[in-house]
C-alpha cells in the first residue's frame, strides 16, 4: 500500500511501515532533530495505537502512531489524501 501525505511518502506491506520525508524540514518533523538518519521504519508489532484526526477544509489531518517504546510519530495529510490514510489506519489497526 502506498500513500502520499503532506511532504511525505508512506509504504506499508502488511508487516513494515516506511515513511520518508520528501524535504529536509519534513524529515526533521517526522523523526526529530536528533534522530534524522533516514526514513522512519516501524514493524507492525511495534505499533500499539493508531489515532486519526480527519482533514477538513481548513486544517490538515494526521495519523498518529504510538509504539511499544513510548514514541509517537505523526504523519500529516491533506483532505484530498484522506482516503489513502483512512485505508492505511484501518490496515494498521487490523
Within a 10 A sphere around the Cβ of 45, how many other Cβ atoms? 9
pLDDT value at position 94? 80
**H-run or E-run covering 47:** strand 47-53
How confident is the model over 23-82, as pLDDT tens digits?
A: 888 888 887 766 667 899 999 999 999 999 999 999 999 999 999 999 999 999 999 999
Architecture of domain 2-93: Roll (2.30)
Domain residue ranges of the chain, discontinuous segments joined by + = 2-93
Q: Evaluate whether 16 touches 43 at the Cβ level (below 8 Å).
A: yes
Question: pTM of the entire structure?
Answer: 0.88
Specify the DSSP class assigned to residue 34: T
Amino acid at each position: 500500500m502506498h500513500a502520499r501525505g503532506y511532504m511525505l511518502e508512506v509504504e506499508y506491506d502488511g508487516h513494515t511501515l516506511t515513511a520518508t520525508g520528501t524535504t529536509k524540514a519534513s524529515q526533521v518533523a517526522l523523526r526529530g532533530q536528533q534522530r534524522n538518519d533516514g526514513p522512519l521504519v516501524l514493524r507492525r508489532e511495534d505499533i500499539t495505537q493508531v489515532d486519526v484526526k480527519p482533514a477538513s477544509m481548513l486544517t490538515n489531518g494526521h495519523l498518529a502512531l504510538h509504539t511499544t517504546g513510548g514514541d509517537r510519530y505523526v504523519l500529516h495529510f491533506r483532505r484530498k489524501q484522506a482516503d489513502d490514510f483512512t485505508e492505511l489506519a484501518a490496515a494498521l489497526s487490523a
